[in-house]
Amino acid sequence: MPCYNCDLLASTREHVPPRGFFPRGFRNNLWTVPSCPRHNLDNSLDVEYVRNVIVSHRNVRGTAQELAQSASFRSFERSASLFFQTFRDVQFVIVNGERTAIFPFDLQRFRRVMEAAASGLFYLENDVRHCGNWNVFSPTLLGANDLTGIPTEWGRFRDLMAQIPFEIQRSPEPTVFRYGKHQFDDRVHFAYALEFYGGFHVYIWNQ
C-alpha cells in the first residue's frame, strides 16, 4: 500500500492531524492513514514546534488546549533550545486593547504540517493520494502590518475567506480539531477550513 503523501511504500500509519496535537484524554478513535517513515516519524519535530505555537495563541481555549499547553511546557522543559528557538525576538504589544506578545513564526514548518494534514484529509475522503499543490493561509496569524489598524490586502483576504460557506464535517475530537469543506462550482477546486482548540483557524485549498 502506498503512502498517503508520496509513492513510497507505507510501513506505518500517520494520524490526521498528528497525534501530538491531541492531549491525553482526547485520543479516542483518531483518524490514521498509511504512511512512509518520512511522512510520519520524520516530521515529529515540526509537529511539536507547530503544536507549541498554536496552543500559545491567545485565541485558543478549552480543556483540550490547557492539556496540550501543559504538554508544550513539558517539551520546553526537556529542551531549552526549543523554547528559545520558538520564542526568539519576542515583543510585547497591545492587540484589541489587551497586552500580549508576538514573535516570529517559522512559516515553512507550519506549511509542511498543515499541507500534510490536508493531504491526510483528502486521502481519508477519497482513498487516493492528492497529487497537486496546496495553498495555506491562517487568518489567526498576524503580520507586523496588521497591528497598525490600517486595512491591508491580507485583511481583505481574511474577510473573503470568512464568507465561504464551509460544510462542517464530523471529527473524532472536535474540541481539539474539526474542519469544514467547500467544493467550488467547477467541481475541481475545493477548500478546507481547519480549526484547532476552538480558536486557531487555517484555510487550505488545492491548486
**For position 206, what pLDDT does the model report?**
95
pLDDT exceeds cutoff 90 at 178: yes
If you average pLDDT over residues 187-202, what whole number do you get?
Answer: 95
pTM: 0.90
pLDDT exceeds cutoff 90 at 31: yes
- How much of the chain exceeds pLDDT 70, in percent? 95
Q: How confident is the model at residue 145 (pLDDT cuts 50, 70, 90)?
A: low
Q: Round the average pLDDT of the chain to a whole number and report it.
A: 90
**For position 22, what pLDDT does the model report?**
95
pLDDT digits over 58-78, tens only? 889 999 999 999 999 999 999
Q: How confident is the model at residue 148 (pLDDT cuts 50, 70, 90)?
A: low
Q: How confident is the model at residue 82 (pLDDT cuts 50, 70, 90)?
A: confident
Strands 98-102 and 91-95 come out as antiparallel
Range with the poorest average pLDDT among 126-140, 141-155, 169-183: 141-155
**For position 157, what pLDDT does the model report?**
83
If you average pLDDT over residues 23-28, what whole number do you get?
Answer: 94
For residues 33 and 23, give the distance between their C-alpha atoms in angstroms, rounded to a whole number.
20
**For position 152, what pLDDT does the model report?**
66
Cα atoms in the 13 Å half-sphere on the side-chain side of 11:
6
Q: How confident is the model at residue 87 (pLDDT cuts 50, 70, 90)?
A: confident
If you average pLDDT over residues 143-152, what whole number do you get?
Answer: 60
Q: Which residue has the higher pLDDT, 34 or 96?
A: 34
